[in-house]
Structure 1
Amino acid sequence: MNTELLGVVATYLLTLVIAIPLGKYLAKMFAGEKTWTDFLRPLENGIYKISGINPKEQMDWKQSMKALLTVNSVWLVYGFFVLLYQDKLPLNPDGNPGMTPDLSFNTVISFVVNCNLQHYSGESGVSYFTQHFVLMFLHFTSAATGIASAVVFFKAFRDKTTSSLGNFWEYFVKSITRLLLPLSLLMAIILAFNGTPTSYEARDQYISLQGDTVNVSRGPAAGMIAIKHLGTNGGGWFGVNSAHPLENPSYVTNTVELIAQMIIPIAMVLAFGYFIRRKKLAWTIFGVMTIGMFLLLIPTISSELGGNPAIAKMGISQTAGAMEGKEVRFGPAISAYWSTVTTIVSTGSVNSMHDSTMPLTGLWQLLAMMVNSFYGGCGVGILNYFIYLIIAVFISGLMVGRTPEFLGHKVEAREVKIAAVITLLSPFLILTGTGIASFVFTNFGDADWTVKPANWLNNPGFHGFSEMLYEMTSSNANNGSGYEGLGDNNIFWNISTGLVMILGRFLPIIGPVAIAGLLASKKFIPESAGTLKADTMTFALMTFAVIVVLNALSYFPALALGPLAEYFTLLH
């Protein structure tokens, strides 16, 4: 047991060892300062020339968001039709069929928005061509979209007063050429040498010890698994994701994949401070996020190591903890750590089945995605946190009776209204979506939704409600993990979660960037004795209180109906 916990501690410390210098590098690189990756400049200039991009052209926040929405719209259309007709395209040795329109709609949105919710079953649902030229391609572009948006946000606070926020396309290209591609290449090599397949051959067969003929899917998986974690994407090559022995062969690869999904989210938080020359602010934000992570992680590990109380009542020993749905290769402690990491940083990959975790673990998983700002996804984590920060600034200003300010700019009605709308968006999408799903399940059980609502749930009680709540929460948070007891590949879930994913992705990016752009264009106000400093312990606690109160008020009733009710039922 102590060894398992030591593995968790060592993994997190190794993550920090990589993420801290990476944050400094990203700040210098995006600021245009000299870095060791400048040798890639000719490649980037070639991309700009072919694409007709002038990287020196300055954009305001509106132009940056227009560029973001335009290019993502193109990828949506492209990906939709490739998925629809993948059976007629090359690199399909296993003969996988084309997707139905509703599944194609859901899948392409899922990968464009960095959610990677997979209503198809991995290797049996898509061809090698689709895995490479749609899904893996979108792994890179969706992560770069979030990072580039964050750098536009950074630029708003670097200068005292400005409407020029750099060039979105330059940030986007550099995110891929100088960050995602090099790290993905390195990680893919590590995975390949540890047993992850990299071939283009079709399924292989072997005879098991029981005499059964087993078909084993292969393919060039290592590269996709690398970028799925580095880009906090999470969509796996195989249907069971990183619980698959070829996608995650050993404890070594498990550690590498855990570290990979955390380093860029943490680095982007620190890069913010170095970029705007306010390192203390970045470390303050990092501190709040880290406290939030540990408040989710510690009870999760405790819940999983404690075992199942219903089994304990039967007199069965559970010295290894709750092992249902876990891989014996890893154990419950590091699986609990993975479930926390994957839900706070919106990766959504799994090395164990979340549907089999203890009810309280499910509670913390849901809450991590509902908060969605403890490190968060690539780039968007700091944007999500900024909304809470602006609300904290506004409330603090009201408490002391002066106009709220942030980094020398007055926070006025327009900025607060945007923050309020974005704050209300997540509860609206999650709770409304879950409410509609519950209504359909209850009242239209015999209706024909391709898969009847009566057959959606393996567990129609409290856990069944949690399954539907988790699906909507994961979609809104652009997470992509799921409770697999839910039958989700049908018209209702494909369309509803598709709409939730696209709204839950782009509005929470546009909102913070818009606020930052509006603040940047205002007259800079020098600090005075009455200035509210955002890098103090007091303000950090204020921000944390805002996060706790807003999410408690928004989600406690739903959590009480799902995981909490299941926990007390199981206990008694």
Structure 2
Amino acid sequence: MTLIGWAQIALVLGCTLLLAVPVGLWLARLAQGRLGVLAGLDAVVLRAAGVDASRGQGWQAYLLAMLAFNAAGFAVLYAMLRLQGVLPLNPQGLGGIPPYLAFNTAISFVTNTNWQAYSGEVAMSHLSQMTGLAVQNFLSAATGIALAFAVMRAFAVGRVAQLGNFWADLTRVTLWLLLPGSILAAFAFIAMGVPQTLQASAAATTLAGGEQTIALGPVGFQLAIKHLGTNGGGFFGVNSLHPFEGPSALATSLQIILQTVIPFGLCLAFGRIVGDLRQGRALLAVMVGFVLVATLAIYAAEAAGNPLHIAAGLAPAQGNMEGKDLRFGIALAALFTATTTGASCGAVNAMIDSFTPLGGLVPMFLIQLGEVLPGGVGSGLYGMLVFALLAVFVAGLMVGRTPEYLGKKVQAREVKLAMLAVLVLPAVILGLAGLSLVLEVGTASLQDAGPHGLSEMLYAYTSAAGNNGSAFGGLTADTPWLNTTLGLAMLAGRFGFVIPVLAIAGSLAAKPRAPDGPGTLPTHGPLFIGLLAGVILILGGLQYLPALALGPIAEHVAMLAGQTF
């Protein structure tokens, strides 16, 4: 590790936190419908769409509207991918996507997972990329933020039966946040050298005199929303490691900022909506703290390098550079990996399969903690609030009083629903990964034996159920079994978690908001921040310890003993 490396990390995170302040203010105004000079235009758009923003929805109606919208999005995207060969804007002449892969891809983009069992430049036409995948990048991200708005309102008000209007929230987030933000970011990326064209490819003559065909396409705009919406699905197969998606350290830094600024900003927006900025800052402190610790762990593991290479005199001075871009080094790779897996983005600028065992353990564990550190756009905040409810419940048990959070009493119904939400991920991840590791149809996809092969499979289901979409590598994922089961894991990770969360929001919104009393646990200070971090580690991560011990931890011990896989 170097001083320059830490300076890079500090500069990027500092810029993100500064930008999160105005973003958080705008998110709060969007949630409250206070759009200022845009109010007139917003009213016209909603009226044209047939949406009455003043007509609120209870949690069941809000949930049904969200589910119906996403089901329609899945059907449209699936049909587009299957019919790709006969649709326009297909200069490569690509055929339709096979049914299992189309099923997996459609679910992936609708759930904001963006897992890719294909290489984009050789599988997807420009139409599929622009009007299929990129559109869902906007809509799945807007869905997550809309759900966060609904949950925030439940804490801000008392004795109400409505959480807002899903259609109004979805429209406002898309038009007044994601679209302008993506346009600005896209122009910045294009200025840095990212291509934005409808050409299929360009021909080049190499220095050796050979001919090379270089894939091109409308990359810039998709790159912008892929990070701003914490989607992660790249135009190219190697994602941000491709020089057209990551042309410079500046472009890589901007990608890190984009994939974390909305999750950070939502914490600050939460503080404004509930009328106590300290509450939002406490949640933000937990998120930033975990990002820093994870970055440190990855940076240290990769900078230390592989001891077998060191003993053989083969290790580069800067550490383990396998699978990383020499232009960026380990520092930006560590920060990018920590934020992309913690933020439910899934984009990569380094191949996690090539990390040291402990370096690869950290991003997997971040996803397993519940995608709340900082989590996806929207999903990070409402996931964090679920853990906050469990934290005050644990504190209430210790002092012998009914737990409460922001003036809302947390009772048996809310705790049961919160535990149901928290248990969705381990049940799906460990259940499906275990099944795939004992069936030949699953093990046939593994590239490596031993603990490394276990990590490949465990990471795949972790990424799918966590709606992250990053890949460990080394796994042949485009098979009927994996396309189907990973798709089901994405559905459970997104909607199996959201249903109890909205039920909690509906229950809390109906309760009065009482003022703090002398026995109320302060939920904005260091004590609660530490308690919340501990609950996330214990409830979110402890159930994965046996699997991690058999995977990356066992591989690390074997590596120290001179054995590789």
User: 1:303-327 CA deviation, whole Å, 9 max, x = no partner?
Assistant: 1111111100102342122110011
Asked whether the equivalents of residues 96 and 125 of structure 1 are also in contact (C-alpha less than 8 Å), the reply is yes
1:383 corresponding residue in structure 2:
382
For structure 1, which segment, 429-438 or 406-415, has the greater mean C-alpha deviation from structure 2 after superposition? 406-415
Q: Distance in 2 between matches of 1:53 and 1:29?
A: 16
Q: Distance in 1 between matches of 2:109 and 2:541?
A: 30
1:83 corresponding residue in structure 2:
81
Asked whether the equivalents of residues 84 and 100 of structure 1 are also in contact (C-alpha less than 8 Å), the reply is yes
1:17 corresponding residue in structure 2:
18
Report the CA distance between 1:219 and its aligned residue.
0.9
Report the CA distance between 1:173 and its aligned residue.
0.9
Q: Distance in 2 between matches of 1:168 and 1:353?
A: 38
Aligned length in residues: 559
Asked whether the equivalents of residues 422 and 540 of structure 2 are also in contact (C-alpha less than 8 Å), the reply is no
Asked whether the equivalents of residues 383 and 508 of structure 1 are also in contact (C-alpha less than 8 Å), the reply is no
Residue 457 (str. 1) matches residue 442 (str. 2): no
Report the CA distance between 1:455 and its aligned residue.
4.2
2:525 corresponding residue in structure 1:
536
1:423 corresponding residue in structure 2:
422
* 1:311 maps to which of 304, 309, 330: 309
- In structure 2, relative to structure 1, the CA distance for the partners of 1:432 and 1:3 (3 Å cut) is same
* 1:496 maps to which of 479, 485, 498: 485
User: 1:179-218 CA deviation, whole Å, 9 max, x = no partner?
Assistant: 1111100110011111111110122222222343322110
Q: Distance in 2 between matches of 1:156 and 1:353?
A: 41
For structure 1, which segment, 284-293 or 97-106, has the greater mean C-alpha deviation from structure 2 after superposition? 284-293
User: 1:438-463 CA deviation, whole Å, 9 max, x = no partner?
Assistant: 011xxx2xxxx6xxx55412212211
Q: Give identity over the alignment, percent.
A: 38
Report the CA distance between 1:223 and its aligned residue.
0.3
Q: In the alignment, residue 312 of structure 2 is paired with which amino acid?
A: M
User: 1:479-524 CA deviation, whole Å, 9 max, x = no partner?
Assistant: 0000221000000110000000011001222222221220120233
1:392 corresponding residue in structure 2:
391
1:93 corresponding residue in structure 2:
91
2:276 corresponding residue in structure 1:
278
Report the CA distance between 1:347 and its aligned residue.
0.3
* 2:470 maps to which of 466, 481, 487: 481
3-state SS of paired residue (2:204):
strand
Report the CA distance between 1:526 and its aligned residue.
2.9
Q: In the alignment, residue 157 of structure 2 is paired with which amino acid?
A: D
2:30 corresponding residue in structure 1:
29
Report the CA distance between 1:40 and its aligned residue.
6.6
Matched ranges for 1:189-338 at <5 A: 189-338=187-336
Asked whether the equivalents of residues 345 and 375 of structure 1 are also in contact (C-alpha less than 8 Å), the reply is yes
Q: Distance in 1 between matches of 2:486 and 2:254?
A: 30
3-state SS of paired residue (1:392):
helix
Report the CA distance between 1:288 and its aligned residue.
1.6
Q: Distance in 2 between matches of 1:101 and 1:210?
A: 42
Q: Distance in 2 between matches of 1:17 and 1:394?
A: 33
Q: Distance in 2 between matches of 1:333 and 1:386?
A: 31
User: 1:203-241 CA deviation, whole Å, 9 max, x = no partner?
Assistant: 222222234332211011100000000000000011110
Matched ranges for 1:329-368 at <5 A: 329-368=327-366
3-state SS of paired residue (1:562):
helix
Q: Distance in 2 between matches of 1:484 and 1:214?
A: 26
Q: Distance in 2 between matches of 1:92 and 1:383?
A: 39
Residue 569 (str. 1) matches residue 549 (str. 2): no
For structure 1, which segment, 155-164 or 492-501, has the greater mean C-alpha deviation from structure 2 after superposition? 155-164
Q: In the alignment, residue 530 of structure 1 is paired with which amino acid?
A: G
- In structure 2, relative to structure 1, the CA distance for the partners of 1:51 and 1:153 (3 Å cut) is same
1:556 corresponding residue in structure 2:
545
Q: Distance in 2 between matches of 1:166 and 1:421?
A: 24
1:402 corresponding residue in structure 2:
401
Asked whether the equivalents of residues 205 and 214 of structure 1 are also in contact (C-alpha less than 8 Å), the reply is yes
Q: In the alignment, residue 14 of structure 2 is paired with which amino acid?
A: L
For structure 1, which segment, 3-12 or 223-232, has the greater mean C-alpha deviation from structure 2 after superposition? 3-12
Q: Distance in 1 between matches of 2:117 and 2:306?
A: 29
Report the CA distance between 1:48 and its aligned residue.
2.2
Report the CA distance between 1:5 and its aligned residue.
2.5
2:163 corresponding residue in structure 1:
165
Asked whether the equivalents of residues 304 and 333 of structure 1 are also in contact (C-alpha less than 8 Å), the reply is no
Q: In the alignment, residue 93 of structure 1 is paired with which amino acid?
A: P
Q: In the alignment, residue 116 of structure 1 is paired with which amino acid?
A: N
1:134 corresponding residue in structure 2:
132
Q: In the alignment, residue 26 of structure 2 is paired with which amino acid?
A: Y
For structure 1, which segment, 52-61 or 210-219, has the greater mean C-alpha deviation from structure 2 after superposition? 210-219
Q: Distance in 2 between matches of 1:220 and 1:150?
A: 31
Asked whether the equivalents of residues 235 and 349 of structure 1 are also in contact (C-alpha less than 8 Å), the reply is yes
Q: In the alignment, residue 317 of structure 2 is paired with which amino acid?
A: T
Report the CA distance between 1:293 and its aligned residue.
1.7
Asked whether the equivalents of residues 306 and 315 of structure 2 are also in contact (C-alpha less than 8 Å), the reply is no
3-state SS of paired residue (1:157):
helix
Asked whether the equivalents of residues 108 and 490 of structure 2 are also in contact (C-alpha less than 8 Å), the reply is yes
Q: Distance in 2 between matches of 1:8 and 1:533?
A: 32
Asked whether the equivalents of residues 61 and 514 of structure 1 are also in contact (C-alpha less than 8 Å), the reply is yes
Q: Distance in 2 between matches of 1:214 and 1:41?
A: 52
Asked whether the equivalents of residues 342 and 350 of structure 1 are also in contact (C-alpha less than 8 Å), the reply is yes
Q: In the alignment, residue 319 of structure 1 is paired with which amino acid?
A: A
3-state SS of paired residue (1:214):
strand
User: 1:463-485 CA deviation, whole Å, 9 max, x = no partner?
Assistant: 11100000000001100000221
Q: Distance in 2 between matches of 1:34 and 1:138?
A: 25
Q: Distance in 2 between matches of 1:83 and 1:559?
A: 36
2:141 corresponding residue in structure 1:
143
User: 1:405-462 CA deviation, whole Å, 9 max, x = no partner?
Assistant: 222222111111111111111110110111011011xxx2xxxx6xxx5541221221
Q: Distance in 1 between matches of 2:373 and 2:56?
A: 31
Asked whether the equivalents of residues 386 and 512 of structure 1 are also in contact (C-alpha less than 8 Å), the reply is no
Structure 1: gaps spanning 5 or more residues: none
Asked whether the equivalents of residues 40 and 177 of structure 1 are also in contact (C-alpha less than 8 Å), the reply is no
Q: Distance in 2 between matches of 1:257 and 1:142?
A: 19
Q: In the alignment, residue 247 of structure 1 is paired with which amino acid?
A: E
* 1:174 maps to which of 172, 175, 180: 172
TM-score by length of 2: 0.96
Q: In the alignment, residue 72 of structure 1 is paired with which amino acid?
A: N
- In structure 2, relative to structure 1, the CA distance for the partners of 1:324 and 1:454 (3 Å cut) is same
Report the CA distance between 1:34 and its aligned residue.
4.9
Report the CA distance between 1:404 and its aligned residue.
1.7
Asked whether the equivalents of residues 206 and 213 of structure 1 are also in contact (C-alpha less than 8 Å), the reply is yes
Q: Distance in 2 between matches of 1:130 and 1:87?
A: 10
Q: Distance in 1 between matches of 2:138 and 2:444?
A: 36
Q: Distance in 2 between matches of 1:408 and 1:18?
A: 30
Report the CA distance between 1:46 and its aligned residue.
4.0
Asked whether the equivalents of residues 345 and 374 of structure 1 are also in contact (C-alpha less than 8 Å), the reply is yes
Q: In the alignment, residue 194 of structure 1 is paired with which amino acid?
A: M
Report the CA distance between 1:271 and its aligned residue.
0.5
Q: In the alignment, residue 463 of structure 2 is paired with which amino acid?
A: S
Q: Distance in 2 between matches of 1:382 and 1:515?
A: 14
Q: In the alignment, residue 374 of structure 1 is paired with which amino acid?
A: L
3-state SS of paired residue (1:150):
helix
2:505 corresponding residue in structure 1:
516
Report the CA distance between 1:571 and its aligned residue.
1.3
Report the CA distance between 1:6 and its aligned residue.
1.4
Asked whether the equivalents of residues 157 and 513 of structure 2 are also in contact (C-alpha less than 8 Å), the reply is no
Asked whether the equivalents of residues 108 and 487 of structure 2 are also in contact (C-alpha less than 8 Å), the reply is yes
- In structure 2, relative to structure 1, the CA distance for the partners of 1:243 and 1:41 (3 Å cut) is farther
Q: Distance in 1 between matches of 2:247 and 2:103?
A: 32
